[in-house]
Structures are given as C-alpha cells and as structure tokens.
Structure 1
Amino acid sequence: MLPAVAVAAVAAVAVAVAVAVPALRHRLVRSALRRAGGRYRRRLEALSSDVRLNQERRLRRLLRAGTGTGTGTAGGWEEFQQRHPLGQPCREEAPEDAVPPLWLWALLPGCWDCDPRLQGSLLYLDALGTAFPRALSRRGTALLHWTPGCPRAPAGWPLPTLYCTPAAAGTVPSRAAALRLQLLFALRQRELHVLEAGLAAELHDALVALRTEWPQLARELALGRLSPQPGLPEEVQRQLQALLAPDAARAAELRAECARGFEGILQRLWPQLEVVVVRMVHGSERLYCNSLLQAECQGLPFYCPFYQAAGALLGVNLWPAEPEPRFLLCPDWAFCEFLPCLANKEPQTVLLDELWEGREYRLVVTAQPGEYRCRTGEVLKVTGFHKQCPVVEPVRRESQTLSVRGEDIPEEQFCQSLCRTLRTWPGARLIDYACVESSLLGDFSGPCAPHYEVFMELQGLRDLSEGQRYKLDQCLQEDFPIYKSFRFKGSIGPLRLHLVRPGTFTRLREALGSPRPMPRVLHQEQLLQLVQGSIIS
C-alpha cells in the first residue's frame, strides 16, 4: 500500500489536473475565438469599402434561398423593388433564436456566410476583450435573462465557459423566480468581471429583488440551500440545489454591504466588476438604464453590443467604452432599405450607401427568405460613417406613438415631457409608466372626447392633487403645439393620470410572456386590465 503522504500527494495532483484542464480548455477556445473575431473584423473593414456590392450579394443569397433554386433575380435591387412592394409591418414579437451548435469548421475563414449570430458574437468577444482584458475570464460573467421554455443565446454563446450562471436557472416558467435564481448564483461568484442582462428591465427587476430580499438571499448563501418559491419546478430546484454549497463568508459580506445602502452596490459586491452588458438600452429601456446608473450601477459603464430589429441581427457596437451606444450596420447580415422621415409624400427607399449623416430614417429589412421588405417600425438616426457603412442610433418605435387625432407624440418625447413634469413635484421619483389611448377603454372611457390615460408608479408620493395631475397635460401642450390646438378645440379631452401600487410593472413584464422591451403604449386589453386593477389613486 502507498503511504498516507503519497496518497495525499496523488490526490492533490489529481485535483490540480481536474481544475487545470477546464481552465486550459477555456483559454484555448477563447484564444481561437479571439483570433476568429479579429479575422472577421478585418473582413468587415473590407466589406465596408464597397457597401452597395455587398448588399446586392446578400440580397441574391436571400432570393436564392427563398426560391430554392441556384439562381436569384437577374436584375438588381430596382427589379427586386418592382417584384416585391413594401410589405406589411414585421412581427413585433419575433422570437429569439435558441443557442445554435458551434462546430469548429464554422471558425474557418471560408465559412463566414453561415450565420450572422456567430459573426456578431465573435465581434462582441473581440471588442469586449480588447476594451476590458479580464472580461473574458472563465466563469467571470453572470447572466440575468429570462428565457422561458428553452435556453437562449447569451451574447458570448460561442464561449459558454464564460458564464457562472446555470442555464436551467433562466428557463423556469416564472420570470421573477428565474431572475432571483440567477441573482443568487451571481452573488456566489465574488470574482465577477461582467454582469450581462438581456434587457435593462431584467437587471432592474433583479436588483429590486436584491433590495427587498437580501436577508433571505444571504441566508440561502450561508446554508447552501434554496428556499421553496412560487414558479420554481421541483425538478429544476433539485438540479440547481446540487450546484450550491454553504458559503458563510460570502453571506456575511452580502449582509454588510446591503446594510450600508444600495448606491453603488454592484461594485461593492463585486469589486472586480468592469462592465455591465445589456442587449438593449434604447427606447423604453433607457428609463431603467438611467435609474440604474444613478443608483446600483454607479461608476460602471454600460455596453450594448448588438442592434436587432424584427428578430434579425443588423448591427454591432464596436466601441464598448463609449457611453452612448452606436451601431455599425453590417452589409452582409441583412438587406436594408430606408425611408426618409422628412419627406413630404410617401418616399422611395434609399439604400445603405445613400444615407446622410444627421438624418432620421424608417427601417425596412429583408433578412429571411420569403419575408421581403418588411417595415420594422424602427426609426434610426445616422450619426456617422465607418468607411461606407453608416453608424446609427435607434431613435424611436413607431408602434409606441400616442395618437388619438393624428397628433403623433413619440414615446421618447412623451417621456421627456413626463420627466419635466416630475421635476415640479418635490420628492417624486419615477419608477415606471405606461399609457393607453381612450379607444382601448371602450365604455370605461366615458362620454368625453378621445384622450390619453397614463399609469405611473412613483416613489416618494402616494397621492396627487388635481393641480399636479393637470401639470402633465400642461407640459404636453407646451411641448406639442398640435396637441395644444386639439385640446383648445375640445377634440382631445384632458389627460387622466393614475398612480398604481408598487410592483405593478414588474407583474406587467411577467404578463408579457416573453422577454421583450416594455410597451409604453398598451394595445392589449388584458395588459390594460392588469394595470387598472392596481390603481391606488
């Protein structure tokens, strides 16, 4: 028999090898992906030098795939326009793609046309690793993203060893349970470098759970035991329970930091945290980003890596360290057309190489075989160019425009008027809001003229005077002369403002049924009924 010392030495070597092999595998795969990402970035530079040619190539590939033949249209995009007039709006709730398998041959230089999702993720890993060198550490990224039914692709899906979050934690039927579980596993990993969320609202709601449930979370960390909670299937609970171990030191640290308050809590809980990655920060998600940057995420940069519309990946943000996200539209990911916003009549579409810096355009996309020239409902602003490729920022969603008489108040401008109103209410802080046009109310709207109803969740105020309620209508009249004209004529009635109880909008996001941006203008009766049932004033 071997002496005890020898047995201990052999066991120590075995443990060291078991630990080293996954770490070595991670480094090798990371190196291969970074090299592939660098190659594709150089290829993107070449593609950006002749945008028209590469857009026409992309269109021909889409048409060949749509007809199932080896030949596409013989003409160019003019013939394509004649054959396919501008289509109906794209599906607003396009499903996310499941995690695709990654084969090694896909990383070869000749295989780039296989999947824009792979190209986008390689560019993301390259850009993130260049800006934040420690961000690609093994198990150094935590994920907060509800993906009911099946696992969905996080930003760095080709390198799954990045993530310390079990995939099963995000797939449970309950959104609240999923985000809480993912938060718990993130808290276990003190050496976190990246916190990734699918939507800013998901990060916001997970941190609300931290604020309200940190004593229970600390207890679960200390005991290494999950508490039963609604919406968590027993099988998933057993699976996740097997991954937990008691950690009294981390639990004590969580208690100490939460007792100090929640401003800057992320950097105090995770001292090595470098960046927060959020898949969407524009539109309705900007409200949550601003709130997080002022409180829990103080001192941390936000990086939004991708621009997607109607389920298609269209652009990538190659500048992670810049505070305002801007996206390079990639010419071989989809065929894009643009409708100028300032045209006096129904304009003709222009192409990727015909845009003007500083102007706004409505986006039309052909990204899938058989779905041609779809109006996405997205409005983009061109902020510059990278060679011939436009660099854009999303401005607004047309489906979220308020209009009962054709006055057209965009969501971002309505939000500005709302925030200006709140500054006149001492102590009030906006948590969330939604609007509805009175036509959706039916008989409940009463006999008055068409109008807006606004539902708000506030912190610091439990009731509003009639003067305060009228202030928002007054600000809208000051900011939108057409609205003021209709109000003066009486063809639009006074705005009605309601306060709702805390947590209303968290439940509303759960009721949406899938992870998608918060609708600011409600168009579904069941969502309206949920909000109406929470009115407190």
Structure 2
Amino acid sequence: MLLAVAVAVLAVALAVAVAVPALRHRLVRSALRRAGGRYRRRLEALDSDVRLRQERRLRRLLGTGSGAAGGWEEFQERHPLGQPCRDEAPGVPLPPLRLWALLPGCRDSDPRLQGSLLYLDALRAAFPRALARRGTALLHWSPGWPRGPAGWPLPTLYCTPAAAAVVPSRAAALRVQLLFALRQRALHVLEAGLAAELHDALVALRTEWPRLAQELELGRLSPQPGLPDEVREQLQALLSPAAARAAELRAECARGFEGIVLRLWPRLEVVVVRTMCGTERLYCDSLRQAECQGLPFYCPFYQAAGALLGVNLWPAEPAPRFVLCPDWAFCEFLPCLASKEPRTVLLDELWEGREYGLVVTAQPGEYRCHTGEVLKVTGFHKQCPVVEPVRRESQTLSVRGESIPEEQFFQSLCRTLSMWPGARLIDYVCVESSLLGDSSGPCAPHYEVFLELQGLRDLSEGQRYKLDQCLQEDFPTYKSFRFKGSIGPLRLHLVRPRTFTRLREALGSPVPMPRVLHEEQLLRLIQGAVIS
C-alpha cells in the first residue's frame, strides 16, 4: 500500500513539473541521486555473498528449469569453454525509466540502469555541479546503435540533440554535436563515447573554426557531406543566432589550441569518456597534453563483449579502475600463468596483483564467451575485485608465434620516437604480412607499421630501422627469429594527415581503434594514404 502511494505521489509530482523543465530536472535528479546512493550502499555492503550473487545471476541467465540448480560445476560441464565472443553485442534499446525502480526497497536488475545510477552518484560526489541541467555536451556517433549516453536516465543533463548521434556520417555527426556544444558556454561536463571521438571533434575545431563561428553567428547549419537534408532541417529548428559566442570562439581559436577546451568552456569540471583503456589511452594522453590541459578524465564503465561488467567509483583518480559487480554478469577468469588447460576461477577466488583472461556469460544463449580481454586485479572494494584492463589478445602481433602484445609494442614504438627529434605520434596501426598477400613480396613474414606523425615528413632508412632494433632489444624471441631470418625486417610507412580519422569512419561502428588490422578493406584504405 505504501509503495503504491509513493509511486502515485512521485508520478503526480513529475506530471506537475512537466510545464517547468528546470523543476522537472531537479525532481528527477533528486530521485536518481537517492536511488544511486542506495545502489552504492548495497554494493559496498557486500560481505561474503559474492559467490551467491554470481550463482543467482547465472540462474537468471539460464532461465527456470535449465538445470542451474547444480551450480556452476554443472554449468561448466554443459557448456564448454571457448565459445567465440563478439566484440560488440547488437544494439538493444534502453529500457524505459520505471518510477518504481527508484523507490526504496525496489531492485531493478538491469545492469545498464544500475551502472548509470552509480555513475551519476559518483560524478555528483566528485564534481557537485556536474548534474546541472543542460550542462553536459555529448560527442558520440551511434548510427543504428541505440546506446544512450552515460547519464541516460536523466536526459535533461544534455544540451546535445539526440538526432545528432544517428547521422550516417561519423565526421558529420561529431561536427554537428561540436556546434551544439559550442553554443552552450556554461558546460560542466564534456562526454564522449570514445576518446578518439573527442580527439576527432577537436581536430575538426582546429581546422573548421572559422566556418563554425559563422554558423554560430548566423544560427544556420550549413549543408555538408553525410548530413541528410531532413536531419539538417530538424537540427536547424533548434538553432538561433549567437553572435557574442561566435566572437568568443574566433578570439580563443586565434590564440592557439593548447588549453582551448577550458578557455571555451570555463566552467568545465571533467571530461567523461566511456572507453579510454587500451589503445584509447593514446588519444587521452594527446588531449591532456594539448586541448584538454588542466582537466581530469573519468572513464565510468568497464564493458566487454557488449556487456556492462564494472563501474569506476573514483572519478577524480587519473588511472581508471573498475569494481566488478556480481549482479551484472557471470564471470570466470583464466589465470595467465597457468598450465595449457587451466581451470577457470570465480569472482571470489581472485588474487591481488595477478592477471586473468576474462570469460563472460552475459546473455541467454551466449555462454562462457572468451572475451580476449586480460585484466589485472589491483585490489578489492569490500568483497568485489577491483581491476584494470591490461591488453586485448586479439591485438597481439605474431607471425611466427613470437607474440608481441599491443601495449608492449606501443612502449617500443614510444622509445623509438624519442630517437626521432621533433616527431610527435598522432596514430599508428600494424599489419602482419600474411594479410598483404602478393603485395608483401617474396621476403620472410614480417610486420608493416603505418604511422601518422607531426613534425616529420620523411624518415631515413636508419631512422626506420630504429623501430625494428628496439623490438629486438625488447623481445628476445623476436630477435632470435630475426637473427635466423625466419622473420624479415619490419617495414615502416608514413601516411598523410587525418588518415586515421577516415579509418575510424570506415570501421562502421563506434569501437576502440584496432592496432592490428585483420580486414583487407581497411588495409587498402591505409595503403592508399602512404606518403613515404
């Protein structure tokens, strides 16, 4: 009875507030904050029931009468390990926000709602003004991918029109979103789906700021490739002239682009990037050093195989780490230093400081998927492990079984760059010669590396050899194969500016940048951009 009355009271309050957007925002924000606080307290109250919660989640995934009563041992016998795991799950519409899910005593089991509530609670605690109405700008391309922003239960957070995210062209979508962000001077949060999306949007600011300023001044969205006329007209209806803001944009861009983000949005408190691990760190580091100087970066979620698995409860810390939540998916872990046929361990059997391969059961019918993700356990939050992603096994270079992980290859590349005076790395990608076919020539299997650099337009043969030399010094197995001649010398190519922006568009979906290409279409694109 009391629950029904509470639901009715909340519904009436929200209905009354419909005509007053600011009041409606405050009411919903208050309800979400209280619900987020309860979810966090429940997460932190976990004592010794992590295994029990995991088994409950597994039973829900298997369904009633599926034989789950025998526990995870029976589950292992019925479903062998190693089912291929998709990099991304197909787009699933977000559930409607149900009022009863925000009330005390009510528990909604959808991980996306729980994750967003925990995110909003952590964000508000670290940055008290971050939940201001229309104080967040979104930069994210999601054509055909019905993914809401991190704070989707509170849409009034955003000043970015939803229609801008589904524009067919990635470049056009990010540019339109940037324009709407520029109109809102009083931003507190800049949110991007990927660090690469924020990077590319700010590259567009560098190259197109005079035209953007003109569009702001006139309140008119110019026709552009990839922006359908009907969508442009829909977005045009939301624009109005902003001459003062256009003048400010011209003045700040004329001063240069270091620290431009804080100069354009002086109230900005944090940059939220939903994926900044692995290869995305290159873009984060570049942004921190240039356009986003002085701003903290916050990565709120850990996702793998399209499933939400963990949340970052420490927004102000520079290195992201994630609490794995036992109610969101059934997780198993393969110890990295185990025998050839290791036994998986469960969430409550992990050891601090060790690395594990991640196996996930997150969707009915998709059991024990090997994600290819390697995690390191950095500690525990109550009984829940706290992890940081280490590497992606699919991004390991290997033409003779030498196995060079992506993060270690990147370290060797950075060491090489330090020997090239004036060179600054913009982006890179690797290809194993087996993908090249006849174009690789008659030489032994080898790597080809494509770089976009700033500060250098060409490299001598001696400079190019430095990367191969660093790899030999850092990886004895690679050095041995090079000495025997079973692996040929690495070939290095420079590509023209903005090649990787076009490559990310060609990926066709908002996924982290691959560092080892496995598709011929992407290879042809990068080969066509070689300048040296």
User: What TM-score does the superposition give when structure 2 sets the normalisation length?
Assistant: 0.95
Pairing 1:265–2:265 present: no
The structure 2 residue matched to 1:148, chosen from 143, 147, 157, is 143
**Hey, what does 2:40 align to over in structure 1?**
41
Q: Is the 8 A contact 2:137 2:160 kept in 1?
A: yes
Segments of 5+ residues of structure 2 without an aligned counterpart are: 1-15
Instruction: Name the counterpart of 1:97.
Output: 92
Q: Is 1:243 aligned to 2:242, yes or no? A: no
Residue number in structure 2 paired with 1:9: none
Amino acid at match of 1:219: Q
Contact kept in structure 1, 2:91 and 2:144, CA below 8 Å: no
Alpha carbons 1:306, 1:316 under 8 Å: kept: yes
Find the residue that maps to 2:20 and give its secondary structure.
Answer: helix
Structure 1 residue 71, shift from structure 2 partner = 5.9
Letter in 2 for 1:459: Q
| One-letter amino acid matched to 2:287 | L
Match of 1:527 among 519, 522, 526: 522
CA RMSD of aligned residues (A): 1.4
- State how 1:186-265 maps to structure 2 within 5 Å: 186-265=181-260
Q: Match of 1:230, SS?
A: coil
What is the correspondence of 1:96-175 to structure 2 with a 5 Å cutoff? Answer: 96-149=91-144, 151-175=146-170
Contact 1:340 1:347 in 2 (8 A): yes
Task: Report how far residue 260 of structure 1 moved.
Answer: 0.6
| Equivalent position to 1:508, from 496, 503, 507 | 503
Per-residue Cα deviation, 1:449-496 (whole angstroms, up to 9, x for no partner): 000000000011111100000000000000101000000000000000
Query: How far did 1:49 drift?
Result: 3.8
Q: Deviations over 1:94-143 (max 9, x none)?
A: 33433331121222345424310000000000000111000000000000
1:148, 1:171 within 8 Å by CA — same for their partners in 2? yes
Partner of 1:439: 434
Residues in 1 aligned to 2:370 and 2:333: alpha-carbon distance in whole angstroms = 9
CA contact (8 A) 1:97 1:153 kept: no
List per-residue Cα deviations over 1:156-206 (Å, max 9, x = no partner): 000000000000011110000000000000000000000000000000000
Q: Within 5 Å, which residues of 2 pair with 1:101-500?
A: 101-149=96-144, 151-500=146-495
The answer to whether the Cα contact below 8 Å between 1:49 and 1:387 also exists between their aligned partners in 2 is no
Give, in whole Å, the separation in 1 of the partners of 2:45 and 2:112.
19
Q: Which residue of 2 aligns with 1:57?
A: 56
1:275–1:301 Cα contact (<8 Å) kept: yes
Q: Give the secondary structure class of the aligned counterpart of 2:74.
A: helix
Shift of 1:344: 3.3
Inter-partner Cα distance in structure 2 for 1:452 and 1:274? 42
- 3-state DSSP of counterpart to 2:68: coil
Could you say which residue in structure 2 is the equivalent of 1:30?
29
- Contact 2:136–2:157 (8 Å) recurs in 1: yes
Query: Does the CA-based 8 Å contact 2:449-2:490 persist in structure 1?
Result: yes
Task: Tell me which moved more, 111-120 or 287-296.
Answer: 111-120
2: distance between equivalents of 1:344 and 1:407? 18
Give the match for residue 7 of structure 2: none
Q: For 2:114, what is the secondary structure of its paired residue?
A: helix
Report the Cα distance in structure 1 between the residues aligned to 2:338 and 2:227, rounded to whole angstroms.
52
Q: Are the counterparts in 2 of residues 151 and 167 from structure 1 also a CA contact under 8 Å? A: no
Which one-letter code corresponds to 1:56 in the other structure? E
Code of the residue aligned with 2:38 in structure 1: it is: R
| Deviation readout 1:26-71 (Å, 9 max, x if unpaired) | 000000000000111111123354211111111111111xxxx356
What secondary structure is seen at the aligned counterpart in 2 of 1:133? coil
Question: Partner of 1:12 in structure 2?
Answer: none
Does structure 2 retain, via aligned residues, the 8 Å contact 1:89–1:377? no
Single out whichever of 359-368 and 69-78 deviates more from structure 2: 69-78
Are the equivalent residues in 1 in contact too, given 2:18–2:24 (CA < 8 A)? no
Deviation at 1:80, TM superposition (A): 1.1
Distance 1:48 1:460 in 2: 55
Does the CA-based 8 Å contact 1:151-1:168 persist in structure 2?
no
Cα distance, 1:110–1:85 mapped onto 2, change above 3 Å: farther
Q: Is the Cα–Cα contact under 8 Å of residues 151 and 170 in structure 1 kept in the other structure? A: no
**Structure 2 counterpart SS, 1:36:** helix
Higher mean displacement: 435-444 or 341-350: 341-350
Could you list the per-position Cα deviations for residues 402-433 of structure 1 after superposition, in whole angstroms to 9, with x for gaps in the alignment?
00000000001101100110010011000000
Moved more, 74-83 or 98-107: 98-107
Aligned mates of 1:452, 1:71 — CA distance in 2: 48
In 2: Cα distance, 1:463 partner to 1:88 partner: 45
Change (3 A) 1:259 1:48: farther
Alpha carbons of structure 1 residues 354 and 504: separation in structure 2 relative to 1, 3 Å: same
Alignment length (residue pairs) = 517
Unaligned runs of 5+ in 1: 1-16
Structure 1, 32-41 or 18-27: larger mean CA deviation:
18-27
Q: Check whether the contact 1:61–1:72 (CA below 8 A) recurs between aligned residues.
A: no
Structure 1 residue aligned with 2:5 = none
Q: Secondary structure at the match of 1:483?
A: helix
Whole-Å Cα distance in 1 between the matches of residues 123 and 180 of structure 2? 23
Paired amino acid for 1:492? I
CA contact under 8 A between 2:58 and 2:68: conserved in structure 1? no
CA contact (8 A) 1:352 1:389 kept: yes
Whether the 8 Å CA contact 1:47–1:54 is kept in 2: the answer is no
